[in-house]
């Protein structure tokens, strides 16, 4: 328990130290040391708990509960005042409703409910701790160099980097607390801290756009927080517990009745995971500095949402209304967010829609509620965390050096910034090509959908995956093209950024190579505990070994032939007479035409407004029907008791 407590408290202490650190050298040293300690601590925690089937921790949490209550009240007052100040009254209203309701429950009922275990660490918690501790720490290291460039580009503005790093480390500590909490009131406390942290990071630049987008994120996550509170109240009053582990056990006793509070917790997870119709907050987060985008998309905010739904999966499934609601919201989001990505030229928006889509697939896996679907969902979480953080950070570096984040402006990047382009290629390949992990996980996902009998989801994943391949191939072709007469501009990239790029690229390959071990020693034991046995439909060991061998051969071939090409260089054919510079050719009327590479974005067919409207309508209908059915069932249940 000491390691877990350390991983919660230590980042928060570092956060306050960084808030006071104004000197660049001091900040760099603190971040380097702190991130090394956090990463090492997460690895130590993994070794401590990897062999256990799950460990509960019980200690007197009454004082901690009162402290959390006071902090919650203080944060609510802050939100109310800030909302009124910026005329975002809905945020203030949600805080006025949500926090007093939570405090009322804690004072009226919560203290009368015995909590045996406040915290619980299982294999899923271990995986999440490693993602938070390693990926989150690497993003913080990357931010050192990136934020120096960012401040240089905003030289006339106040240096607010101490505040930026304060929130980044606060985020890391809160996430560890969230994924190890068994007491739902404690989980809610950390849940709200992550919501407020994202609000601060998205609004970092304090521009009008940033403020509006930060409040959109806050309002949507406060709405999810309200759902969280309602779920706690139902769980506490109707079932007499506020422990997540007990709730999951009750699922085998009370059956679909436990789906009532689960539906509200799942709703909170859907908002946090930026599923339609709540995906606009994550798209708005793109206005923030790149490390914020990477942190939100890979190791913190949105991963909290899918973590919640994966934990709930044993009480979901195709047999109950909550499971159907969750799986359909996830499936619809996956399909329409993937389609919307086709029309995007802005690299960060492509990554944002890709994130929303992949989170939708994870949510759908959790909604299906079978062992094999959850196996696929957790694998998606792991691979997505690494590759998506790599891609976001690469785009941030490219933007600072070529002056644009548009994919169409990345002509010649393989020559201008070869190391960066190679890392981006590895990241993109990791998202959709065999034998990398994301494709393997999608294969397992489709198998689980077939075995569950939900052929609508099978159709969704087939069409959605085809669309996914389309927009990744467009970008991959742009990056891998060699353009003549370009010179390298990679010499002035910060070493901290290069280190993180290469580390994440290597991690992408390593995790793909060892994923059979990850499955054997973490996922299978977790699923055996959560579902009482592992379904035969899990990806077979022979298939996993074949995938690993394929990847090993690719890595070996790359190592053997890297930098050893002796092919003759010949003039490039440019659909006309080459002028001699391999960049221009004589077109009609002997006019010189510069060669360019351009993609087809199909805006008229897959425009993001059109895709969002359709997706929002369908998912809203699913949520209204699902939550409406929950409320009707609850009223009927309470009426029967009365």
Give tens-digit pLDDT for 569-617.
Answer: 667 777 778 887 777 888 777 788 877 777 888 888 888 999 999 999 9
DSSP assigned state of 183: B
CB 427: neighbour CB atoms within 10 A?
27
Q: Residue 300: what pLDDT?
A: 75
Give tens-digit pLDDT for 467-481.
Answer: 998 889 989 888 888
Query: Is 405's pLDDT higher than 70?
Result: yes
Q: Residue 539: what pLDDT?
A: 58
- Report the DSSP beta bridge partners of residue 593: 585
> Comparing 520 with 535, which gets the higher pLDDT?
520
Query: Is 536's pLDDT higher than 50?
Result: no
State whether residue 535 is helix, strand or coil.
coil
Judged by average pLDDT, the poorest of 104-108, 136-140, 160-164, 317-321 is: 317-321
449, burial (CB in 10 Å: exposed 0-12, middle 13-18, buried 19+): buried
| DSSP H or E run through 548 | helix 541-561
Distance CA 398, CA 409 (A): 10
Residue 42 Rama label (left phi>0; alpha psi -120 to 50; beta): alpha
Q: Residue 80: what pLDDT?
A: 97
Half-sphere exposure of 94 (CA within 13 A, CB side): 24
Query: Is 431's pLDDT higher than 70?
Result: yes
Distance CA 463, CA 526 (A): 31
Mean predicted confidence (pLDDT) in 473-495: 82
Give tens-digit pLDDT for 377-397.
Answer: 999 999 999 999 999 999 999
Mean predicted confidence (pLDDT) in 1-21: 93
Q: Residue 563: what pLDDT?
A: 58
pLDDT band for position 354 (50/70/90)?
very high
State whether residue 490 is helix, strand or coil.
helix
pLDDT band for position 489 (50/70/90)?
confident
Q: Residue 204: what pLDDT?
A: 93
pLDDT band for position 561 (50/70/90)?
low
For 47, the token pair is 């070794």
Distance CA 126, CA 344 (A): 36
Average pLDDT taken over every residue of the chain: 89
Nearest to 36 by CA among 108, 118, 138: 138
Number of H helices, E strands in the chain: 26, 5
Mean predicted confidence (pLDDT) in 136-162: 89
Specify the residue for token string 């004072």.
107
CB 632: neighbour CB atoms within 10 A?
11
For the chain, percent of residues with pLDDT exceeding 90: 57
- Is this structure's pTM higher than 0.85? yes
Reduced 3-state DSSP string for 63-119 = HHHHHHHHHHHHHHHHHHHHHHHCCCHHHHHHHHHHHHHHHHHHHHCHHHCCCCCCE
Give tens-digit pLDDT for 50-98.
Answer: 877 778 777 666 788 889 999 999 999 999 999 999 999 999 999 999 9
Nearest to 303 by CA among 179, 473, 403: 179
Query: Is 530's pLDDT higher than 90?
Result: no
Angle at the Cα of 516 (from 513 to 519), degrees rounded to 5? 130
Distance CA 390, CA 168 (A): 17
Q: Residue 92: what pLDDT?
A: 97
Give tens-digit pLDDT for 294-350.
Answer: 888 777 788 999 999 999 999 998 778 899 999 999 999 999 999 999 999 999 999
Rg of the chain on CA atoms, in Å: 25
Torsion angle, alpha carbons of 520, 7, 261, 378, to 10: -30
pLDDT band for position 556 (50/70/90)?
confident
pLDDT band for position 154 (50/70/90)?
confident
């Amino acid at each position: 328990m000491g390691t877990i407590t350390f991983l919660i408290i230590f980042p928060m202490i570092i956060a306050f130290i960084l808030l006071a650190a104004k000197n660049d050298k001091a900040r760099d040293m603190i971040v380097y040391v702190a991130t090394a300690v956090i990463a090492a601590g997460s690895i130590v925690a993994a070794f401590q708990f990897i062999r256990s089937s799950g460990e509960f921790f019980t200690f007197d949490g009454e004082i901690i509960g009162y402290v959390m209550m006071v902090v919650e009240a203080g944060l609510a007052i802050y939100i109310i005042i800030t909302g009124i100040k910026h005329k975002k009254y809905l945020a203030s209203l949600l805080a006025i409703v949500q926090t007093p309701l939570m405090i009322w429950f804690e004072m009226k009922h919560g203290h009368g409910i015995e909590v045996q275990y406040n915290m619980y660490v299982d294999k899923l918690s271990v995986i999440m701790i490693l993602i938070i501790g390693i990926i989150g720490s690497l993003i913080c290291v990357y931010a050192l160099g990136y934020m120096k460039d960012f401040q240089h580009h905003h030289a006339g503005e106040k240096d607010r980097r101490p505040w930026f790093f304060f929130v980044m480390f606060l985020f890391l500590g809160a996430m560890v607390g969230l994924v190890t909490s068994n007491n739902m009131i404690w989980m809610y406390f950390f849940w709200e801290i992550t919501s407020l942290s994202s609000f601060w990071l998205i609004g970092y630049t304090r521009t009008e756009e940033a403020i509006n987008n930060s409040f959109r994120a806050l309002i949507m996550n406060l709405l999810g927080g309200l759902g969280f509170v309602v779920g706690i109240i139902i769980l506490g009053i109707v079932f007499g517990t506020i422990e997540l582990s007990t709730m999951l056990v009750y699922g085998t006793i009370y059956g679909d009745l436990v789906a009532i509070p689960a539906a509200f917790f799942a709703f909170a997870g859907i908002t946090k995971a930026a599923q339609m119709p709540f995906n606009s907050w994550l798209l708005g987060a793109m206005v923030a500095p790149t490390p914020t985008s990477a942190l939100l998309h890979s190791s913190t905010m949105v991963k909290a949402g899918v973590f919640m739904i994966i934990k709930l999966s044993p009480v979901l499934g195709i047999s109950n209304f909550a499971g159907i609601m969750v799986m359909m919201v996830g499936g619809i989001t996956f399909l329409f967010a993937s389609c919307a990505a086709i029309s995007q030229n802005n690299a960060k928006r492509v990554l944002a829609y890709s994130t929303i889509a992949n989170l939708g697939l994870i949510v759908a896996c959790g909604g299906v509620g079978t062992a094999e679907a959850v196996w696929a969902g957790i694998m998606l979480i792991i691979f997505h965390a690494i590759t998506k953080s790599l891609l976001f950070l690469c785009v941030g570096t490219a933007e600072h050096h070529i002056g644009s984040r548009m994919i169409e402006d990345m002509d010649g990047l393989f020559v201008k910034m070869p190391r960066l382009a190679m890392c981006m290629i590895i990241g993109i390949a990791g998202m959709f090509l065999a034998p990398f992990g994301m494709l393997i996980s999608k294969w397992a996902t489709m198998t689980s959908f077939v075995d569950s009998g939900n052929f609508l989801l099978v159709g969704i994943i087939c069409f959605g995956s085809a669309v996914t391949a389309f927009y990744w191939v467009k970008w991959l072709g742009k990056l891998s093209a060699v353009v003549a007469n370009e010179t390298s501009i990679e010499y002035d990239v910060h070493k901290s950024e290069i280190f993180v790029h290469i580390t994440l690229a290597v991690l992408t390959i390593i995790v793909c190579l060892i994923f059979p071990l990850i499955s054997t020693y973490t996922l299978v034991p977790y699923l055996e505990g959560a579902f009482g046995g592992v379904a035969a439909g899990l990806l077979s060991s022979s298939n996993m070994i074949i995938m690993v061998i394929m990847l090993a051969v690719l890595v070996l071939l790359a190592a053997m032939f890297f930098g050893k090409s002796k092919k003759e260089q010949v003039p490039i054919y440019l659909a006309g007479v080459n002028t001699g510079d391999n960049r221009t050719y004589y077109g009609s009327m002997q006019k010189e035409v510069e060669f360019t590479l351009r993609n087809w974005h199909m805006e008229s067919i897959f425009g993001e407004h059109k895709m969002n409207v359709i997706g929002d309508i369908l998912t809203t209908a699913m949520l209204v029907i699902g939550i409406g059915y929950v409320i009707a069932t609850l009223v009927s249940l309470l009426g029967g008791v009365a």
